[in-house]
């Protein structure tokens, strides 16, 4: 029987986890999976194992406490787990094996209005913090506004990273992670009384599996960007730059009002 994989939302961590063992475990698990992803699929990420393995746990905590990021984890359900999957299930997140992740960043100014676009070459988490975009911002008829809630508008998101552990690929886990992220965006559209959301993602032009996955969900290629990946030569501290080309893919979804 194929393994049962359940997608769960990670609870947002406090700014500094202090001595909270639960927050430290979640941050450590996330860091381990992220490093595993960078080691297993180096060609899929703008970052690299050599760089991120030097970072302390505080960098992971910063990602997981970012109020503009929603993180989802695919976990391998225990064979005796018969109850329905539950989000925010900290016990399951603590006890089960993590086999995939996705990060939804936003909402921000829409890409057409923001002077600080998310680019393939930089860490989108850092860009979001550096630009200080407010999570209240939505686009209304071409104008950015902080007045909330708007009657209509488009919330703008970016998917920062997707990874599925090789042993459970091609079983619908990547699709389930993207569906979870997009459904979170949809929930926020309802909460903020907006009417639609747009979501972008960067993907290397040769990454056929990811491109097909995104197309299947409804993303379309809207641009192409050459970027320089900064990395470190394995086993050395020598920095090097690799030139890569990414597609910018985009999806826009109008959300039907619940009223
Ligand atoms: C891309 C990735 C996330 C897909 O995860 P997955 O769990 O295998 O994907 P799914 O099983 O949900 O597949 C959904 C659809 O994606 C497409 N797809 C997935 N893997 C594919 C492959 N190897 N070749 C072609 N199409 C593929 C198919 O259209 C598939 O639908 P189908 O099964 O009905 O044909 C996974 O391969 C991965 O982690 N790759 C390394 C990291 C990476 O590239 N991340 C993206 C960075 S932008």
Q: How far apart are CA 45 and CA 120, in angstroms?
A: 9
212 lines ligand 1 (CB under 6 A): yes
Residue 173 CB–ligand 1 contact under 6 Å: yes
Task: For ligand 1, say whether the CB of 114 is within 6 Å of any of its atoms.
Answer: no
What is the structure's pLDDT at 126? 63
- Nearest atom of ligand 1 to the alpha carbon of 213: 16
- Tell me the pLDDT of the chain averaged across its residues: 82
pLDDT of residue 13: 92
Distance from the alpha carbon of residue 193 to the mean position of ligand 1, in angstroms: 33
Residue 76's nearest CA partner among 7, 145, 29 is 7
- Measured CA to CA, the distance from residue 105 to residue 84 in angstroms comes to 27
Instruction: Say yes or no: CB of residue 163 within 6 Å of ligand 1.
Output: yes
Domain segments of the chain: what residues?
5-254
Q: Which atom of ligand 1 is nearest to the CA of 168?
A: 7
Query: C-alpha distances in angstroms, 70 versus 13, 135, 149, 161, 188?
Result: 11, 12, 21, 11, 11
Q: Is the beta carbon of 28 within 6 A of some atom in ligand 1?
A: no
Architecture of domain 5-254: 3-Layer(aba) Sandwich (3.40)
The closest-lying atom of ligand 1 relative to the alpha carbon of residue 37 is 42
Residue pLDDT, tens place only, 93-141: 988 999 999 999 999 755 554 444 556 666 666 665 544 333 333 333 3
The per-residue pLDDT for 128 is 57
Which has the minimum average pLDDT: 2-16, 56-70, 146-160, 170-184?
146-160
Q: Label residue 17 by pLDDT band (50, 70, 90).
A: low
**pLDDT at position 162 over 90:** yes
> Each residue of 65-83: pLDDT tens digit?
999 999 999 999 766 665 5
């Amino acid at each position: 029987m194929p393994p049962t994989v359940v997608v769960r939302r990670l609870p947002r961590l406090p700014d500094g986890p202090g001595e909270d063992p639960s927050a430290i475990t979640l941050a450590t698990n996330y860091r381990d999976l992220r490093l595993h992803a960078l080691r297993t699929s180096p060609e899929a990420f703008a970052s690299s194992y050599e760089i991120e393995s030097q970072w302390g746990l505080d960098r992971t905590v910063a990602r997981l406490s970012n109020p503009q990021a929603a993180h989802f984890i695919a976990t391998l359900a225990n064979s005796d787990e018969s109850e329905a999957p539950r989000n925010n299930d900290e016990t399951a997140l603590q006890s089960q094996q993590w086999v995939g992740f996705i990060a939804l960043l936003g909402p921000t100014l829409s890409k057409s209005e923001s002077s600080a676009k998310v680019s393939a070459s930089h860490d989108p988490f850092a860009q979001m913090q550096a630009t200080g975009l407010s999570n209240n911002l939505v686009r209304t008829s071409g104008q950015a506004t902080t007045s909330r809630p708007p009657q209509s508008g488009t919330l703008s998101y970016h998917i920062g990273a997707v990874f599925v552990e090789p042993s459970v690929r091609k079983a619908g886990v990547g699709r389930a992670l993207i569906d979870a992220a997009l459904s979170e965006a949809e929930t926020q559209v309802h909460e903020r009384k907006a009417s639609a959301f747009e979501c972008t993602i960067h993907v290397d032009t040769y990454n056929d599996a990811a491109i097909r996955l995104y197309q299947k969900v409804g993303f379309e290629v809207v641009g192409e960007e050459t970027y320089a990946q900064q990395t470190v030569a394995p086993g050395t501290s020598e920095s090097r730059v690799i030139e890569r080309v990414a597609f910018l893919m985009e999806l826009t979804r109008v959300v039907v009002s619940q009223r």
